[in-house]
């Protein structure tokens, strides 16, 4: 599973699809469903629907968290299979879970920053071979304030790129 179909999440969907994984995309934005499926998700879950999230109980091997907000961590842990892993790459303020949520089925929570230069190089070569690229939204540098407003409002799809139009 991939939580958050934004800048990191849309890339994760593409990589996981190229690796042959069956992927569930999680988002609070139902308007992203069509794009998530196009990026490689096999199914989409609107996380504002608690029943939809609960219906996945015990079904996922791994959940990759790409967002930077608090979640109902227990609900996501419940979606994991025994020995499943909740892995954080987004800058979430904190992650908390009850011990029994982890101990009973040997689930784990982990996190990681950017990989080593060798790992990054390998990922770039893999992306090139499989046509994986970010979806970008270009803005002229003279409209940087508008670009930042779009980014802050959560309306960017999915990476904003500033192009120099200044002399």
Whole-model pTM: value is 0.90
User: pLDDT per residue over 84-134, tens digit each?
Assistant: 999 999 888 899 898 988 998 999 999 988 778 999 999 999 999 999 999
Mean pLDDT estimate for the chain: 94
Local structure of residue 32 (DSSP, 8 states): G
Map 68-117 to HEC letters: CCCCCHHHHHHHEEEEEEEEECCCCCCCCCCHHHHHCCCCEEEECCCCCH
Contact 133, 158 (CB under 8 A): no
User: pLDDT per residue over 94-104, tens digit each?
Assistant: 998 989 889 98
How long a stretch of residues is the chain?
167
Among 32-36, 113-117, 154-158, which is the least confidently predicted range?
Answer: 113-117
User: Angle, nearest 10°, between helix axes 117-130 and 9-18?
Assistant: 70
């Amino acid at each position: 599973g991939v939580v958050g179909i934004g800048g990191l999440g849309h890339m994760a969907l593409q990589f996981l699809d190229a690796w042959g994984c069956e992927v569930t995309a999680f988002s609070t934005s139902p308007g992203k469903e069509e794009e998530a499926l196009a990026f490689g998700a096999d199914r989409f879950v609107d996380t504002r629907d608690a029943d939809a999230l609960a219906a996945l109980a015990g079904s996922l091997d791994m959940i990759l968290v790409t967002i930077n907000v608090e979640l109902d961590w227990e609900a996501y842990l419940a979606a994991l299979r025994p020995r499943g892993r909740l892995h954080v790459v987004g800058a979430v303020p904190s992650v908390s879970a009850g011990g029994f949520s982890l101990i009973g089925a040997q689930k784990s929570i982990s996190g990681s920053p950017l990989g080593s230069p060798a790992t990054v190089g390998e990922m770039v070569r893999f992306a090139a071979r499989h046509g994986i690229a970010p979806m970008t939204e270009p803005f002229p540098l003279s409209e940087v304030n508008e670009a930042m407003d779009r980014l802050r409002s959560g309306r960017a799809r999915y990476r904003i790129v500033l192009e120099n139009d200044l002399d």
